[in-house]
């Protein structure tokens, strides 16, 4: 209760101080959404495809008799959570790099993550085919 009261009062004070500052239009730099939305969608698309292929091939290979090489994720729930979390972080990092003006670095980061997923998927398929 006390924490909620403190939070509410600090938000109220911050709102009161916000009116005394410069107008938002003088501070905010506008970036047209068309310049970043397509790239963000592409970042999430490639990372999602790579992660999906990795998850599907890992499950298939484990069902064929292969063993998960990462000791941190022996259970399927942990594996899914870890890989989806990593995919989200990679795609968000690419987006933030792109947003801050580092387009080439963002592209390299995206393709490096996708290439890693492709290599892991290839390893899973090779292991599954050997069993």
pLDDT tens-place string over residues 116-131: 999 999 999 999 999 7
Range(s) of the domain holding residue 61: 31-130
Is the Cβ–Cβ distance between 73 and 79 less than 8 Å? Answer: yes
Question: What mean pLDDT is predicted for residues 84-97?
Answer: 88
Residue with structure tokens 């009062």?
Answer: 9
Q: Is residue 112 part of a domain?
A: yes
In a domain, 65, yes or no: yes
Longest CA–CA span in the chain (Å) reads 69
Q: Which pLDDT tens digit goes with each residue over 33-90? A: 656 567 777 888 888 899 999 999 988 998 999 888 777 777 878 888 888 898 889 9
**What percentage of residues in the chain have a pLDDT greater than 90?**
24
Residue 71 falls inside a structural domain? yes
Instruction: Decide if 125 contacts 63 (C-beta within 8 A).
Output: no
- % of residues, the chain, pLDDT over 70: 72
pTM: 0.66
Residue 44 inside a domain? The answer is yes
Distance CA 117, CA 125 (A): 12
Q: Compute the 3-state secondary structure of the chain and give helix, strand, coil in percent, each to the nearest 5.
A: 80, 0, 20
- Give the model's pLDDT for residue 24: 53
- DSSP per-residue letters across 65-104: T---S-TT--SHHHHHHHHHHHHHHHHHHHHHHHHTT-HH
pLDDT at 72: 76
Residue 10 included in any domain: no
Query: Has residue 9 been placed in a domain?
Result: no
pLDDT at 123: 93
Instruction: State the total domains in the chain.
Output: 1
């Amino acid at each position: 209760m006390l924490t909620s009261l403190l939070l509410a009062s600090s938000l109220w004070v911050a709102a009161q101080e916000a009116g005394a500052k410069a107008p938002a239009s003088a501070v905010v730099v506008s970036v047209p959404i068309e310049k970043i939305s397509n790239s963000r969608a592409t970042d999430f698309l490639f990372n999602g495809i790579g992660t999906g292929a990795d998850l599907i091939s890992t499950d298939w290979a484990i069902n064929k008799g292969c063993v998960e090489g990462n000791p941190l994720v022996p259970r399927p729930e942990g594996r899914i959570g870890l890989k989806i979390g990593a995919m989200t972080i990679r795609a968000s990092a690419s987006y933030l790099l792109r947003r801050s003006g580092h387009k080439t670095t963002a592209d390299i980061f995206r393709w490096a993550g996708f290439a890693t997923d492709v290599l892991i998927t290839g390893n899973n398929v090779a292991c599954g085919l050997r069993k």
